[in-house]
Amino acid sequence: MPVVTIQQSPGRSKEQKQLLIQRITEAFEEAYELPPEAVTVFFQNFDDEHWGKAGKLHCDRK
């Protein structure tokens, strides 16, 4: 029973997330021969003040 967590900044539409969940599920169906009901996907959103890269908060890089 795979559980996939996608950590990202906000801004993706519901349709984009639906498409991504569909494709991730299909990949597990094909690679692991699992039924779609066995695959769980979580989205965890972090706003720009809660993550950084290259030594700076993302909000300070804009």
Catalytic residues: 2
Instruction: Look at the chain and count its residues.
Output: 62
The percent helix, strand, coil of the chain (3-state, each to 5) is 45, 25, 30
Q: How far apart are CA 42 and CA 5, in angstroms?
A: 5
